[in-house]
A and B are shown apart, each in its own frame.
Chain A
Amino acid sequence: MSAPAPERSPEVVPVAGRRPLRVGRFSGVLRPRPLVVLVVTAAVLLLAAATNMGRGDYPIAITDVLATLFGGGDAGQQLVVLELRLPRTLTGALVGGALAVSGAILQSIARNPLASPDIIGVQWGAAASAVFVIVLGGGVAGVGGWFASLGIPLAALIGGLASATVVYVLAWRRGIQGYRLVLIGIGVQAVLVAAVQWLLTVAQIYQAAQAQVWLNGSLNARSWNEVVPLSIAMAVLVPLAFVLAHVLGGLRFDDDTARGIGIRVNGARTGLLFVSVGLASVATAAAGPIAFVALVCPQIARRVCRVGSPPLAVSMLLGAALTVVADLIARTALGAIELPVGIVTAVLGAPYLLFLLARARQEARA
């Protein structure tokens, strides 16, 4: 852009049906649909969170939940809401949001809906090292509580970052090609799954049962200990993701085209990958490898918003809402038995994805 800028030509050709939005040097396109989706999703998230904090063995009306959050409520309500259910709900929302953003970024980079942290080894890397700690380190039953509460998340975080690093290093050949990244991720994932399954066969049955709960992703007994590190990590990574997000649209094209419109392809991709893996790893460390959120929320968001690549903000809120709703169902659906949240995300997500696939068919016919 070395040519002197001409007077802004009055005849800016508008794209049909799109309204340009200009603020000084920056311009974008105003798309009403994603905005509406964003607001609706946020409302669903808040409603689900409030309901989640009210339901359980000690029911509290939603109005009382809100009052307690703003400093009211009696001692019992304060304990239940502020110390038990609020951190748990927050963990769910943060984890879901982190996973969905992670998935949206990876799918955009790799230009492949299969590229998500639960497919290409990031979440399973975290899971494998956590199960390793449970089975070979004694886990909760064998070792003191502080080690178990610290050991598994820390192991998961290290495992997630390590397996992502391995995938990345192996996939690097004069740059990162999305396609190669997915293939190598699947290769690494297969090895990790085998390792976990082998660990489960050599474990004592009670360890295997405990590992099984963790492997499905669970928000049981999550407290401020999980919320604080998760919040800090996301406060760093999510803004980074949004700053880098403007290149995601360009990365949809082939590399030469992307370079032609001024994107430093390898640099942008590496930065985005780092953000994506970081988000998936901290999320998995906090709540286990909750499947499906990272894979499906970006795809659902993309279809609902009718845009080309997964939109970050909508994906994030959708992931948070899905996880909180799933946790509410997991806690209350089977009475006294609590299911891990990951099972419910799968049960909720799968039919909706199928419904969208079927609806796309009808639209094609129309």
Chain B
Amino acid sequence: MRVRPRDTAAPAPPKRSLRRRRLIGLAALGAALLVALLGSIAIGTKVIPPGEVFSALFAPTGTENDLVIRSLRIPRTLLGVLVGIALGLAGALAQGFTRNPLADPGLLGINAGAAFFVVCGIYLFGVTSLFGYVWFAFAGALVASVAVFVIGTRATGGATPVSLALAGAAVSFLLQALTSSIVLLDETSLDAYRFWVVGSLAGRDADVAGQVVWFIVVGTVLALASAPALNALSLGDDVATSLGHSVRRTRLVGVVAITLLAGAATAACGPITFLGLIVPHVVRAFTGPDHRWLLPASGLAGAVLLLVADVVGRVVVRPGELQVGIVVALIGGPFFIALVRRKKLGAV
């Protein structure tokens, strides 16, 4: 951070180029999202030509293609957008709040909590519908993240990145152990659980999206509202306090937002790991560390990545499908590794 004296006549050239880069980046993301939306509606086990997609969207006549698009692909696409935005935002928030570029919503135990509650639902109550899993998963995400945050902040020096990470790891391991015990002792639970745990958009109807949409909306509002506080927080707790931000309140809002977003996403689709971890890193390449840009861009990029991964999963092993969670890991992994190698990673 070099402080420039105010009275220099010319504006700093890096600033202008950064601004241009951000706008170009956002425009590119917007265009990519549009392409991904169309692709998600047109491409699947059955590829539907653009003309018919158009007529199905705006002048449906009840043909088979119209039915496929209106009853299957549109709900699935909208759910993909919702979940992608939620995961991208949750990842950016998690990294911002913990000041830890390794942070991921899964680090707060959300995936493990959701998985444990879902398995309990299967084992104790015989729940096997995707619709039925949602509330179990959401409750589990909530319980786990609250536990991790409470434990993490009670450790030395408040919620330091390391203490949060250790608390998250401990809670996750504990919950995974309990989950594993149940599926080991009961093969029926394992049979249902192994298909939920890969994370997929398939088979979710509009009702599932309807169940989680408001959580994601509220979480998004909270996330975007906390951008200035996150910027202050990235300068350290003391500086943030002296700038008039309540560190404690900011962190609390952050955890609530992460839980709402990641919890809702996991409840709707099962755990999709990795998306929340990689998206902010990708986006930071053009937004820089300013959360007012980083957060919206992460949301958009999350939606793009999830839709693209879902379309790829529909195409690669036709007539079968590869679950979106697996595709995200297979696309995202190498991409993320390339990024880590290329960039000099600073702290968030």
Interface residues of A (CB under 8 A from B): 113-114, 170-171, 173, 179-180, 182-184, 186-188, 190-191, 193-195, 197-198, 200-201, 205-206, 208-209, 212-213, 215-216, 291-292, 295-296, 299, 337, 339-340, 342-344, 346-347, 349-351, 353-354, 357-358, 360-361, 363-364
Q: What distance in Å separates the Cβ of B300 from its nearest Cβ neighbour in chain A?
A: 22
Q: Are B154 and A339 within 8 A (Cβ)? A: no
- Could you list some 29 contacts between A and B, CB below 8 A? A114-B102, A179-B345, A180-B345, A183-B336, A183-B345, A187-B333, A187-B340, A188-B333, A190-B329, A190-B332, A191-B333, A194-B333, A197-B197, A201-B323, A205-B191, A209-B187, A295-B173, A296-B170, A340-B180, A343-B180, A344-B177, A346-B176, A346-B177, A347-B178, A351-B170, A357-B167, A358-B151, A360-B155, A360-B156
Q: Are B337 and A292 within 8 A (Cβ)? A: no
Residue of B nearest to A116 (CB): B169
Residue of B nearest to A352 (CB): B170
- Whether A197 touches B326, Cβ cut-off 8 Å, given contacts A186-B277, A343-B177, is yes
Separation of A188 and B274 alpha carbons in the complex (Å):
11
Q: Are B336 and A187 within 8 A (Cβ)? A: yes
Taking CB atoms and an 8 Å cut-off, the chain B residues in 233-252 that contact chain A are none
The listed residue (A113, A114, A205, A364) touching B187 by CB distance below 8 A is A205
- Whether A201 touches B194, Cβ cut-off 8 Å, given contacts A291-B173, A358-B151, is yes
Is B143 interfacial (CB-CB < 8 Å)?
no
Q: Are A187 and B163 within 8 A (Cβ)? A: no
- Whether A364 touches B156, Cβ cut-off 8 Å, given contacts A187-B336, A190-B274, A349-B173, is yes
Separation of A114 and B183 alpha carbons in the complex (Å):
27
- Whether A354 touches B184, Cβ cut-off 8 Å, given contacts A187-B340, A191-B330, is no
Is B325 interfacial (CB-CB < 8 Å)?
yes
Separation of A341 and B32 alpha carbons in the complex (Å):
47
Residues of A close to B273: CB separation below 8 A: 190, 193
Is B43 interfacial (CB-CB < 8 Å)?
no
- Whether A212 touches B180, Cβ cut-off 8 Å, given contacts A291-B173, A346-B174, A357-B166, is yes
- Against A, the Cβ 8 Å flags (1 = close, 0 = not) of B323-348 are 10110111011101100110001000
- Against A, the Cβ 8 Å flags (1 = close, 0 = not) of B187-228 are 100110011011000000000000000000000000000000
Separation of A198 and B199 alpha carbons in the complex (Å):
10
Residues of A close to B177: CB separation below 8 A: 216, 342-344, 346-347, 350
Q: Are A339 and B184 within 8 A (Cβ)? A: yes
Separation of A171 and B336 alpha carbons in the complex (Å):
12
Residues of B close to A215: CB separation below 8 A: 180
Is B185 interfacial (CB-CB < 8 Å)?
yes
Q: Are B190 and A354 within 8 A (Cβ)? A: no
Q: What distance in Å separates the Cβ of A294 from its nearest Cβ neighbour in chain B?
A: 12
Separation of A176 and B102 alpha carbons in the complex (Å):
18
- Whether A353 touches B170, Cβ cut-off 8 Å, given contacts A180-B345, A194-B326, A364-B156, is yes
Q: Are B326 and A212 within 8 A (Cβ)? A: no
Is B181 interfacial (CB-CB < 8 Å)?
yes
Q: How many residues of B contact A (CB 8 A)?
A: 51
Residues of A close to B326: CB separation below 8 A: 194-195, 197-198
Q: Are B340 and A350 within 8 A (Cβ)? A: no
Q: Are B180 and A216 within 8 A (Cβ)? A: yes
Residues of B close to A170: CB separation below 8 A: 337, 341
- Whether A183 touches B333, Cβ cut-off 8 Å, given contacts A205-B191, A350-B174, is no
- Chain B binding site: helix, strand, loop or mixed by DSSP? helix
Which 10 A-B pairs give the minimum distances between C-beta atoms?
A: A194-B329, A346-B177, A191-B333, A350-B174, A357-B155, A350-B170, A346-B173, A343-B177, A360-B156, A187-B337
Separation of A91 and B181 alpha carbons in the complex (Å):
22
Q: What distance in Å separates the Cβ of A291 from its nearest Cβ neighbour in chain B?
A: 6
Residues of A close to B162: CB separation below 8 A: 113
Is B258 interfacial (CB-CB < 8 Å)?
no
Separation of A190 and B111 alpha carbons in the complex (Å):
14
Q: Are B165 and A114 within 8 A (Cβ)? A: yes
Residue of B nearest to A206 (CB): B187
Q: What distance in Å separates the Cβ of A315 from its nearest Cβ neighbour in chain B?
A: 16
Interface residues of B (CB under 8 A from A): 101-102, 151-152, 154-157, 162-163, 165-167, 169-171, 173-174, 176-178, 180-181, 183-185, 187, 190-191, 194-195, 197-198, 273-274, 277, 322-323, 325-326, 328-330, 332-334, 336-337, 340-341, 345
Residue of A nearest to B100 (CB): A114
Residue of A nearest to B147 (CB): A354
Separation of A212 and B330 alpha carbons in the complex (Å):
22
- Whether A212 touches B190, Cβ cut-off 8 Å, given contacts A354-B167, A364-B156, is yes
Q: What distance in Å separates the Cβ of B274 from its nearest Cβ neighbour in chain A?
A: 5
Q: Are A299 and B166 within 8 A (Cβ)? A: yes
Q: Are B173 and A354 within 8 A (Cβ)? A: no
Q: Are A361 and B332 within 8 A (Cβ)? A: no
Q: Are A292 and B163 within 8 A (Cβ)? A: no
Q: Are A339 and B181 within 8 A (Cβ)? A: yes
Residues of A close to B101: CB separation below 8 A: 183
**Known contacts A208-B194, A350-B173; 17 further A-B pairs (Cβ under 8 A):** A114-B165, A171-B341, A180-B341, A186-B277, A187-B337, A188-B333, A190-B277, A191-B333, A194-B329, A198-B326, A342-B180, A346-B173, A346-B177, A349-B173, A357-B156, A360-B156, A364-B156
Q: What distance in Å separates the Cβ of B59 from its nearest Cβ neighbour in chain A?
A: 39
- Whether A364 touches B157, Cβ cut-off 8 Å, given contacts A113-B162, A190-B329, is yes
Q: What distance in Å separates the Cβ of B242 from its nearest Cβ neighbour in chain A?
A: 22
Q: What distance in Å separates the Cβ of B102 from its nearest Cβ neighbour in chain A?
A: 6
Residues of B close to A113: CB separation below 8 A: 162, 165-166
Q: What distance in Å separates the Cβ of B320 from its nearest Cβ neighbour in chain A?
A: 9
Q: Are A295 and B169 within 8 A (Cβ)? A: yes
Q: Are A184 and B181 within 8 A (Cβ)? A: no
Q: Which one of B167, B180, B328 has the greatest number of beta carbons of chain A within 10 Å?
A: B180
Separation of A340 and B177 alpha carbons in the complex (Å):
10
Separation of A197 and B198 alpha carbons in the complex (Å):
6
The listed residue (A190, A198, A206, A342) touching B333 by CB distance below 8 A is A190
Residues of A close to B163: CB separation below 8 A: 357
- Whether A350 touches B171, Cβ cut-off 8 Å, given contacts A113-B165, A113-B166, is yes
Q: What distance in Å separates the Cβ of B312 from its nearest Cβ neighbour in chain A?
A: 13
Separation of A350 and B157 alpha carbons in the complex (Å):
20
Residues of B close to A363: CB separation below 8 A: 156
Separation of A197 and B272 alpha carbons in the complex (Å):
12
